[in-house]
Chain A
Amino acid sequence: MKTKRAMILVSADSESIRLGANELLENLKEALDAYGLQDEVDIATIVDTGRSNILPIVVVYPEAAIYGPVKPGDARYLVEEHLYKGRIAEDLLAPPKELTGQIGSLRAHKGYNPAEQRIVLERAGRIDPENIEEAITHNGYEALGKTLAEMTPEQVIEVVEKSGLQGRGGAGFLTGRKWKFVRAAAGEKKYVICNADESEPGTFKDRIVLEGDPHVILEAMAIAGYAVGADEGYIYIRGEYGLAYRRLQHAIEQAEEYGVLGRNIFNTDFNFHIHLHAGAGAYVCGEETALIESIEGKRGVPRSRPPYPVTHGLWNKPTTVNNVETLANIPAIIRNGAEWYRSFGTPSSPGTKVYTIMGNVNFSGVIEVPMGITLREVINIYAKGMKPGSVLKLAQTGGSSGSIIPAALQDVPMDFESFRKAGVSLGSGALLICDQNTCIVDLVKVLLQFFRFESCGKCTPCRIGTQRAYEIVERISQGEGKISDLDTLINLAVEMERASNCGLGQTAAVPIRDMLKHFRTEVEAHIQTGTCPTGICEMMTKEVEPI
């Protein structure tokens, strides 16, 4: 069996098929045969590529050249140019994608260039986070005052529900609906928990919120408490975030002193107390039931669900657990209304998203932009392009709840619905941009090392599955893999997804699947030739020739 040196992907959604994708696929196969390339080039289909105006699309790896629209009659020419002669068929290349309308209409915030839309990070970096008066002069606690003076709990929930705000921790559940469940749950005592256990590799958006504007979280938690009927809240902050812990501690003291937290808030009969609780270093505590176990003074081991925290949460009482970024949207939504919030982002994913950008790009850091902009826009505009000499190979969207996105999908709008359709996940909003010198096997090995280290050990599929998967990928990275390993990996992925108790084991399968779905050729090269195409993996055979 020969090593595959290239891979062709043909879009095969219903629209592409209507425009001749099936015939195109057949013609490409025939052309490969005609040039004797059938053993060297893999060909497969993909679905939604996010470029509905240039279908059908053909993507050729490893160059990640995107062609479109490609007519069935172009197949032979494309194969001859790109795969036989080895040069890009410039005239068939897809035009660069136009900017999403959302970005075009943004007005640059003073000091931020290019323009952002800051809702979550509105005050972060603009006020002294250790001075409550600065927060108050910039609308701080205005929404809480409005809530207590003018709104019933049901009205608060209705506004949040109408705004369409979805949980920003990765799962994307409707925040208003979660609050409604907790409000409706039986029992007098209820809790609000802010999940600040931000541990997804590459994610530090919540840290920026907590360090830059701790009061927005306190205000949002008090509003949540009023809405669901809770008088007590916990902020579970990861132990590593020392500065954010100290700022929150200080902010809580100041807020109590100013009467916007604690007893009789704004001289009403509403009381709300916030406890600050530091974790001690465990990724799995970001899972809400593990987080609750951890507050209760136990190992951070996820509970079996159902029952869910909305009815049986902290100390078995109804509890809403919300991510920092989610909560930080609340005061602005209350102040400006649901309609205002829906004017940002896409109809199915309203609002903004805070992304952290890093990797082989010119600018690393944090941005807040409307939902639905594309990876290409993030890289070209906000990250100021790839580093000199770097070409985008893939992006990784967060430690576990994200995906490995090949360059071919860089034009998919980044919102919950479009990503779901394209079979990828937005995750926590970390965008790790990787260039051509990133080896997929090496990267997945690093990801699996993370999962096997952080698996809590409660359930077998995750505990053993992450370990075995790591061992196999490590072996492949050393040039000792077998082709049958790939089937074993897929079987492991299936079982981990099916049988793991919580999201950790389920999503540990994602990098395995993504690797074999988008980069199988590169993995097979490790196995069949014992060499790493990018020269990153250290092979046991020591006969690596530079490529």
Chain B
Amino acid sequence: MNTLIIEHDIQEVVQHAIEKHGKTPDALIPILSEVNHVLGYIPAEAMREVKKQVHNSAEGLFVAESQLYGIASFYDMLSTQPRGRHVIKFCENAPCHVVGGKAIWDTLRENLGLENGETTPDNKWTLVTTSCIGLCSVGPVLLVDDDMYGNVTTDQIPEILGRYE
């Protein structure tokens, strides 16, 4: 079991997210985003818990676990699988590509020993590609967790990675 989950009681995390966003259909994605943010991913247990707390047929509010899984697996910022402590998102779109993005991607893969979507055995890093994150004037761009790095060069990569424990 993921270490993050031991630190957090899933029921509490879900409850807190529901208190913040409410029990309405338009709150479902914000609730799951919040759970994903706290736990690093959305475990099946959390989806069961969201269903249990939000579904209310008397009020005409129908929520199925399959619907929640449908959401969690559809959106790119949500994950149904545990991820590393730090997630590196690399922009693979054309604006970053034409200003040298591929060399950065290759350097990242070499430094981490990872391919797209993989996590290091020590659970420290997950490496994924992402679509454009709107920082195109400073490409190539990558995100480590919520930290943005622009105008990245290959020789900066070891230094950037070294900032994270």
Contacts and interface: CB of A to CB of B under 8 A. Distances in A.
A358 B95 contact: yes
Given A366-B137, A399-B132, A297 B95 contact: no
Contacts of B70: 298-299
B99 A360 contact: yes
13 contacts: A198-B134, A239-B75, A239-B77, A277-B26, A277-B29, A278-B30, A279-B75, A282-B74, A299-B74, A356-B137, A358-B139, A432-B94, A443-B98
A381 B25 CA distance: 49
B27 A201 contact: no
A129 interface: no
B48 interface: no
A276 to B, nearest CB: 10
Given A204-B134, A358-B136, A297 B27 contact: yes
B98 A297 contact: no
A359 B92 CA distance: 14
Interface in B83-131: 92-95, 97-99, 130-131
Contacts of A207: 134
Contact of B138 (A238, A294, A299, A364): A364
A364 B134 contact: no
A450 B32 CA distance: 25
A429 B61 CA distance: 41
Contacts of A432: 94-95, 98, 136
B33 A280 contact: yes
A200 to B, nearest CB: 7
Contact of B74 (A201, A295, A300, A447): A300
B74 A203 contact: no
Interface of A: 198-204, 207, 238-242, 275, 277-283, 294-300, 356-360, 364-366, 396, 399, 430, 432, 434, 438, 443, 446-447, 449-450, 453-454, 456
Nearest to A356: B136
Contacts of A449: 92
Interface of B: 24-30, 32-33, 67, 70-71, 74-78, 92-95, 97-99, 130-139, 146
Contacts of B133: 240
Nearest to B89: A240
Contact of A239 (B33, B136, B138): B33
Given A201-B132, A201-B136, A432-B95, 19 more contacts: A199-B131, A199-B134, A202-B136, A238-B134, A275-B26, A277-B30, A278-B33, A280-B32, A296-B25, A298-B71, A299-B71, A299-B74, A399-B93, A430-B95, A430-B136, A446-B93, A446-B97, A450-B92, A450-B94
Q: State the main secondary structure of chain B at its contact with A.
A: helix
A240 B77 contact: yes
Given A281-B78, A360-B98, A432-B98, A454 B92 contact: no
A295 B30 CA distance: 10
B78 A204 contact: no
Nearest to B93: A201
A203 B132 CA distance: 8
A298 B30 CA distance: 12
Contacts of A299: 70-71, 74
B44 to A, nearest CB: 18
A364 B77 CA distance: 27
B146 A450 contact: no
Given A280-B77, A282-B74, A240 B33 contact: no
Contacts of B92: 446, 449-450
Contacts of A443: 94, 97-98
A300 B134 contact: no
Given A358-B95, A396-B94, A453-B131, A281 B139 contact: no
Given A281-B76, A360-B98, A200 B132 contact: yes
In this complex, the member of B30, B131, B133 whose beta carbon has the largest number of chain A beta carbons within 10 angstroms is: B131
In this complex, the member of A204, A277, A366 whose beta carbon has the largest number of chain B beta carbons within 10 angstroms is: A204
Contacts of B30: 277-278
Contacts of B33: 239, 278, 280
In this complex, the member of A203, A296, A358, A366 whose beta carbon has the largest number of chain B beta carbons within 10 angstroms is: A358
Contacts of A366: 137
In this complex, the member of B27, B76, B77, B136 whose beta carbon has the largest number of chain A beta carbons within 10 angstroms is: B136
B26 A297 contact: yes
A272 B78 CA distance: 32
A73 to B, nearest CB: 41
B83 to A, nearest CB: 14
Contacts of B146: 242
Contacts of A280: 29, 32-33, 71, 75-78
Nearest to B138: A364
Contacts of A281: 75-78, 130
A201 B45 CA distance: 35
